[in-house]
Amino acid sequence: MTILIPSYEPDVRLLNLVLQLQTFQLGPIVIVDDGSGAEYRGIFETAEAYGCTVLTHPVNLGKGCALKTGFQHIKECGPQVGVVCADSDGQHLPHDIRRIFDVLLEQTTPGIVLGSRRFSGTIPARSRFGNTVTRAVFSITTGTKVYDTQTGLRGFPYSMLDWLCQIPGDRFEYEMNMLLTAKKEGYEITEEFIDTVYLDHNKSSHFRPLVDSFRIYMPILMFSTSSVLSALIDFGLLFVIQYFTHNLFLSVVTARLCSSIFNYTINRKYVFSAGGQTSKVRQSLPKYFSLVILVLLLNYGLLYFYNEKLIIPLIAAKVLTEVSIFLFSYWAQRRFVY
């Protein structure tokens, strides 16, 4: 087994972790210095003296890049064994890293093993809030429950390294993108609960709440933007066609068809593309428009119910309808279409 530790501006806790891990004899340790600079070179030189392999980025590129640098090195130079990733700031205890190691060895099918924190005891407010929100959004939009989506303690079999190197994302969003695409690729996500450790209220964390949260939620934000633009097209055509034809069914079908063509094009090219590669039209198009038919029926049924049965004005009925099917559409497209 190989231990991979991405590190940016570490302190003595990195060296303590290395020494403790070496007592377990889990395997080689690869550390990626993500552009920490000359001030921290002594720590990395000491780690090298302890027998670790240290890879260096000349400038800070982000945790995602650091992990991919490590994966690429292990794939090319390391033993063909599994990889356990851990943080260098003391949040992951050596015995928990070993537990992930043991679970990974017991796997019968390739998948991700997460060291999930329970978030018990005294937890910094921003960490508790961030993990709660991310967990809820991830569950709603993917249909998969993961207790700790932001943990950096993760185990992977060697066979997953090619895939891990292709996942988009340079910083903290890389770890979220990994979870978002795992199920589609046939990889199961297993959680092993570990101790929750926050030292000095997590002051050593390089996570930037606004910028990095924005990156993490980017796939969902992009989908929302695409959906809003499609909804505007749908709204406009619905009222124009309804005004001239007074035929609700024709108005709904025509408006939905036009907005769906726009939505498919944007989602395929920008929202659900992985690593800059878009899905093949012959694979995704039939699935997408099968979903369109289902959503269309739901759209018409809900719109008819709100407008005709509950006597809600058409504009309000349309808004209620779109809100009702938004999350279902996102989940279905990520899970089945792209």
Confidence (pLDDT) at 202:
45
Confidence (pLDDT) at 204:
47
pLDDT at 126 over 60: no
pLDDT band at 165 (very low <50, low <70, confident <90, very high): very high
Confidence (pLDDT) at 276:
46
CA geometry: angle 268, 269, 271, nearest 5 deg = 70
What's the average model confidence in pLDDT over 54-77? 95
Q: How far apart are CA 35 and CA 298, in angstroms?
A: 52
- What's the DSSP call for residue 201? G
Task: Give the long-range contacts of residues 209-215, CB within 8 A, separation 24 or more.
Answer: 209/126, 209/130, 212/171, 212/172, 212/173, 213/130, 215/169, 215/171, 215/172, 215/173
Q: Which residue is listed with tokens 């390391």?
A: 78
Model pTM? 0.65
C-alpha torsion 178→182→184→190, nearest 10: -150
Number of H helices, E strands in the chain: 12, 7
Query: How many Cβ atoms sit within 10 Å of the Cβ of residue 52?
Result: 20
Mean pLDDT of the chain: 81
Confidence (pLDDT) at 282:
64
What's the average model confidence in pLDDT over 280-305? 77
Q: To which H or E segment does residue 4 belong?
A: strand 2-7
Residue-wise over 289-302: b if at least 16 C-beta within 10 A, else e? Answer: bebbeebbeebbeb
Among 18, 17, 87, 11, which Cα is nearest to 48's?
Answer: 18
Q: What percent of the chain is predicted at pLDDT more than 70?
A: 78
Q: For strands 111-117 and 29-34, give the pairing.
A: unpaired
29-38, 158-167, 262-271: range with lowest mean pLDDT: 262-271
Contact 124, 201 (CB under 8 A): yes
CB-facing half-sphere around the CA of 65: CA atoms within 13 A: 14
**Phi, psi for residue 129 in degrees, rounded to 5:** -65, -45
Residue 314 tokens read as: 């058409």
Residue 72 tokens read as: 């690429």
41-50, 123-132, 135-144, 326-335: range with lowest mean pLDDT: 123-132
Residues 6+ apart with CB under 8 A from 192: 99, 100, 103, 113, 114, 115, 116
